[in-house]
Structure 1
Amino acid sequence: MKFLSRTLVVLTAAALPALASAAEIKVAVAANFHGTLQKLAPQYAAASGNTLTLSSGSSGQFYTQITNGAPFDVFLSADAERPAKLEQEGYAVEGTRFIYAIGVPVLWSATPGVVDSEGKVLTENKFKHIAIAEPRNAPYGAAAQEVLTKLGVWDALESGGKVAKGNSIGQTHSQVATGAAELGFVALAQVKTPEGIPGSHWIPPSDLYTPIAQAAVVLKRADDVEAAKHFLNWLRNDPVSRKAIEDAGYGLE
């Protein structure tokens, strides 16, 4: 069955219609996926002749910008709710929305030995600050809060002033990478390398948080709707993009 599935993907990718002329596609991409898409952009350009212009930030902030007329063609969110809401509210093209990745949060420190393999560092509560993305704007921040709540430590950490909230998961990663916070919840894709994960980390069990299904959608105000659709078809079906997404640390539907 795996062979059949892969064959169908290859045939679908090969059958993508060619575009009449090159286009610039403006993509609002959730911060956790920005690095992965940066690596994919030149490969898509080589395959299609189109260029991707990327803007990185939190999904909540992008949702607000899009509903206020921001000139994006495609939205790659860190959740499934906001793209669905944009479609319901008439800002997105119906039939273009799909789950492009399943995100994985990780508790990470840039320093070896800070985070243990079972996450006991959280209940021991000996650190000064733990960084998370703002839960209201960033799905990875919401997942982090959910993990901490289920472990029974959220209230104590927040009331004790130990939770440092970043505007996006990108800012949260910077806080931990620079040592401004000893540890924090980031996306696995932000810290995974071919050599492994530097520093120290713990990947929480999936039953501690709601699955992070990340959806993409074409926006109605796109300058070239067909070019935007072409890009999302490539992202969804091309073996190159699918492998890159998995290699980065995401799951696929």
Structure 2
Amino acid sequence: MKVIIRSLLGLTLLMATGTTLAGEVRLAIATNFHDASEGLAARFTETTGHSTRISYGSTGKLYAQIHHGAPFDVFLAADQERPELMEQNGSGVSGTRFTYALGKLVLWSPDPHAFADPAAFLRSGDFHRLAIANPRTAPYGLAARQTLESLGLWTTLENRLVRGESIAQTFQFVATGNARAGFVALAQLRDAHEGGARWDVPDTHHKPIAQQAILLERGKDNDAARAWLDFLASSEAQDIIRQYGYDIPQAPD
């Protein structure tokens, strides 16, 4: 009987300890970072015991949801503008904002014969539709607009653009043939989507896609949220992020 009591007591203490140490962090993450975040989340849980609950969307829409009270602990945006605004308006915790990845924009078509000279292809207008993400809500869409403006083609091609609500929808427009080509994130061109015609857009054609994370006011007392940010800034996480097609800043912001 004493052995049973000791076993039950030990189990109770173990469960109590696990409950105390393991927590959950609710993450709002820009769609372009979907695959990378899944890999990061699995490793985070494995190393810390904390679990994650992730919601994906365009940076603009996630920002709006947080502004209207959505219960997130950490925001991983695809730009630095919204995290800066959150730091300024108090919805984000001051001093926790940093750049976790530098995004890369590509012009892509699943048809390997779609273009050999990307600039000539865009200037020729030899297509019915060109896909970009909505520049007002998606930073990769803004970078696409800036690229077309730098080539002097925004006004010419504006009526041929099909705009995705997020970079994920934009990618689907191209992958399904609803657009001949489109500006997507390099991180999306993995595995089965590595073929086709591709142009890695030079950084000189658009402003840097500095993807920033910030601890939200709701998560300031959540140990799991702070652990996530510590992990995201670690060399282990940075190695994973690079594997998914992103660059890492040379020095902290």
> TM-score category by the smaller chain?
0.7 to 0.9
Q: Of residues 171, 174, 177 in structure 2, which corresponds to 1:176?
A: 174
2:133–2:167: 8 Å Cα contact kept in structure 1? yes
Partner Cα distance (1:45, 1:36) in 2: 14
Partner Cα distance (2:220, 2:202) in 1: 42
**Percent identity for Structure 1 against Structure 2:** 43
Is 1:216 aligned with 2:213?
Answer: yes
Report the alpha carbon displacement of residue 152 of structure 1 after superposing the two structures with TM: 1.2
Give the match for residue 224 of structure 2: 227
RMSD: 1.7
TM normalised by structure 1 equals: 0.87
2:167–2:185: 8 Å Cα contact kept in structure 1? yes
Q: Give the structure with the larger helix fraction.
A: 2
1:115–1:183: 8 Å Cα contact kept in structure 2? no
**Within 5 Å, which residues of 2 pair with 1:1-253?**
20-116=20-116, 118-158=118-158, 161-193=159-191, 197-222=194-219, 224-239=221-236, 241-253=237-249
Report the alpha carbon displacement of residue 123 of structure 1 after superposing the two structures with TM: 1.1
Deviations 1:48-87 (A, max 9, x none): 1111111111101111111110011110000011001001
- Greater Cα radius of gyration, structure 1 or 2: 2
1:115–1:202: 8 Å Cα contact kept in structure 2? no
Give the match for residue 6 of structure 2: none
Partner Cα distance (1:83, 1:168) in 2: 18
1:32–1:190: 8 Å Cα contact kept in structure 2? yes
Partner Cα distance (1:55, 1:119) in 2: 36
Partner Cα distance (2:84, 2:234) in 1: 21
Partner Cα distance (1:238, 1:205) in 2: 26
Where do 5+ consecutive residues of structure 1 fail to align? 1-18
TM normalised by structure 2 equals: 0.87
Partner Cα distance (1:185, 1:117) in 2: 15
